[in-house]
Chain A
Amino acid sequence: MKSWRSQAPERAVDPSGHLEDLEAFVAALPDYAIFLLDSDGRIRSWNAGAERIKGYQASEIIGRHLSEFYTAEDQAAGRPQQLLDIAASRGVVRDEGWRVRKDSTRFWAEVTLTALRNPDGTVRGFAKVTRDQTSKRLVEEGLRQSEEKFRLLLEGVKDYAIFMLDPMGRVASWNRGAELIKGYTADEIVGQHFGRFYPADDLARGKPDWELLQAVEQGQYEEEGWRLRKDGTRFWASVLITAVRNDRGELRGFAKVTRDLSERKRAREQLIQEQMSRARAEAVARRTGMLAELSQALMRPLDAADTLTRVAQVMTHHLADYCIVDLRAADGTLRRLATAHSNAEKEPLVAELRRSYPAERQPNYPTLVVFRTGAANLVREITEEMLVVAATSEDHLKLLRALNPCSHMIVPVRANDQIIGTLSLVSTRRDRLYDASDMVLAEDVAARAGLAIANAELFESERRARSAAEMLARAGAVLSASLDYAETLQSLANVVCPALADWCIIAMRQPDGRLANAAVAHADPAKVKWAFDLAERYPIDQDAPSGAAHVATTGEVEVYSSITDDMLVHAAKDEEHLRILRELGIRAGICVPVAASGRVLGALTLISAESKRVYDDWDVELAKELARRAAMAADNARLYEESRAAVRIRDDFIGIASHELRTPLSALRLHIQSMLRTATKESADERQITKLQSAMQQIDRQTRMINQLLDFSRLVAGRVELTLEEIDLAVLLQEVAQRFMDEAHRNKVQLVVATPPTLMGHWDLNVLDQIFTNLVSNAVKYGREHPVEITLAREGASAKVVVRDHGIGIAPADQERIFDRFERAVSSRNYGGFGLGLWITRRGVENLGGTITVKSAPGQGATFTIELPIEGKPKP
């Protein structure tokens, strides 16, 4: 204070003492350095605040120049003088800046320099008020620097578009990132509505404003979406809009941060794509693997039960933890068929579920519903509550819990457009819950299984039909192969084994009325013999209430679909018999009557033993067909036997008759010859002689006819045995011709024989004789007084005989016919005989391996040409 006052050179009169008070106040002010300067800037007074702020005592500083307080830089720049000059000219100047304390430390000063003027206006000095604002300054500086840094940061950020929007949504600031991302410079975009960053469809929906509204309401709005660049290209943006409010909560605008996530989105999408592809590939691989395994399982044609059991096994490896197969039974209801569990230890639990809690007892059981409706059932997640509802008892619930079904699918299995069963797949893992795609797969699997079953059924029925057709064809062949009755029945029985049965027994009624085995077949011949021995020891019980004898009596089919031990015990005749029957392992059987023309002749029994096959209606029908064939065999055999007997009797009769007819003729001939001889000797009546000669001719004719009949009967009976020997055909022809000389002479036919001196060959003499006798006989008979020429020549390996007449000839239509039995070209009235001659001739020629042909025309005569192999190859 003292210094302030003492330094004041001029003191105004202060009558009231106010000035004094003011002085005292100023002097004591601790926060303001208030001092006076002379017009040159020298310090004239000093107060407590100045002392505290600047560190100088009044004594140290008064008289010193203002520039003492300035930094070297400010001093060098003439800053103190500038301020004084400004204050002098303007009256007052305010300044802020660093000043230096006595101890050389700096402080931030807020300075007000006021010029003090004389009444004439000249500057008398200056009053300076300085405040130490270092703390404030530091805060402000920090803030400023922070803001600066932030600004730089914002401006420097390239990866983010960070900009402000005014409350109307117009762009208020723009950073480098925004420029880079969006393509606009600050000049181009500031003041523009931010809507231009949005695609047209978003704009149309008013999305930009809606986003701002969200930000206003929620404080901020965040999204990812498509935005447009200046060049019109799109980018995937992550957007954060924050509403900016002042202290009073008034909306000042929005801060918008936008990031281009296109790349990331692409990467992410690619990743997702890759993951999905991998998942898909894995799924495809799994599915392919499963389907391959399934195909393998379904490849062999099996029945429905086996097929679905296999499917269940495959499914438990791939798609399910356990699997239940239900199949439609014969009565149309659903029966649990098979179960499979991937964990073998749990298999018994599934089996128990199947055994103790069959679906058929619970009408609304999902399996039954699927079976009824054909609509697949998917329960994505099975809850504990569901188990409780489904369980029919505490034990059932316990069992269900132990099995722990978490998700299930039930799909119907269709074959030939009918639901034949269901496939239930169960997952016991919470991390593997079935979804629609699993369901599609399961349905695919069911479809494949159904197809396999349908195919197998088709295959089976086709196989059976084929095998039946083959069997019946073989049976038919058997019937035509032999006419021996016993042999035929045995062959028929053989056809059946083992295709249709392990044993086939055909029992036929014997002449004594009893039924006895006529044929027994088994694949093993040793067993057949054994069976015959057995039948001898234990003959068919003729009065048994069932079995072959019963069937042969009633004519009714018996089917033993399952032969039980009880039945064997009942059928056995003693302990040994029972032992044998048991050993046979008989499973099932069919016994059908063998009946023909309404008469039951016997019974055909099919028995299944080691093959374990079972019989159905189809097999019964087949057995009936076979029995019908057995009956046909029996009937054929009977007919054949009868006809054979009839033929035998006829042949025997013809043989005996011709022999018996011939003998008296021989005797008659001898007598007539004798009479003729006597008549000739005794020169009897010429007419008498002629009559006797005529009688002789008739006897010879009759003899020839009888001979023909004999030859015929031998030929048809197949009793001709060839004896090939060396024969001179030339000599034979001469001999035959010689025999007909008399007759030729009588018929006025000239018989001309032209042969080489000899022609040797191997033939049967009787047959040759027969052939040429017939031909020459005919030629002489039909020669009509024209010459008959017989020529013989060798042609290669054959002997060729031509017998030619010039008689009545044969019409072309008759030329083939004449070689048949009982045929002749001329009327029987004019030319007697049986019409057997040429048939016998042809048979004879053919038996010697030769040929006979005829050339003729009516009225032109006939030429018969016979070619015989010289080596006499008889017909096989």
Chain B
Amino acid sequence: MDMQELIRKARNADAAAQKYLFEQWSAKMLMLCRRYVKNAEDAEELMLNGFFKFFTHLSSFNYQGDASLQAWLKKIMINECLMFMRKKNLFVIVSEKRQDEISIEDEALNNLSAAEIFNLIIQLPAGYRTVFNLYAVEGMSHKEVAKLLGISEGTSKSQLSKAKAMLQKMYTQNQSNYVTRKSQ
């Protein structure tokens, strides 16, 4: 079925269309929420909240292709996760001086499977994880990250550097495991 038609029906509270959209995107959105919130139950609740807002505010959405729909859904989910983390005081980002950016080799991450990358990311502390997700995964600039989290750009950069350093360390520690699995 045409996505635009689905959106139109879902806007008119068509349950079948809403269900179809939910089934199409729910699993991916759940994984997105889990990258921000470790706890699986919390992540599911946030995903449901996000979809609830998506369906109730669908009338204000201007469909411009599947990419726009996915981007809008992701934005809603990220906002839900950040609000939840603020409420629960899950991350406290202390203002820090800018540190030299530590580059984790993309080649190293490319060699890993999606699940392995996911497991590495969720092991990061909440502050590092959030900045890494927003900057490295969602593709936001430091300015945007700083504005969204209410921190300075320098703090965002330092948090990202620390996150990358930690990922590098974890990758190095587990490298032998990855190599062993790949050879098998």
The answer to whether A and B interact is no
Please report B residues at the A interface, Cβ cutoff 8 Å. Answer: none
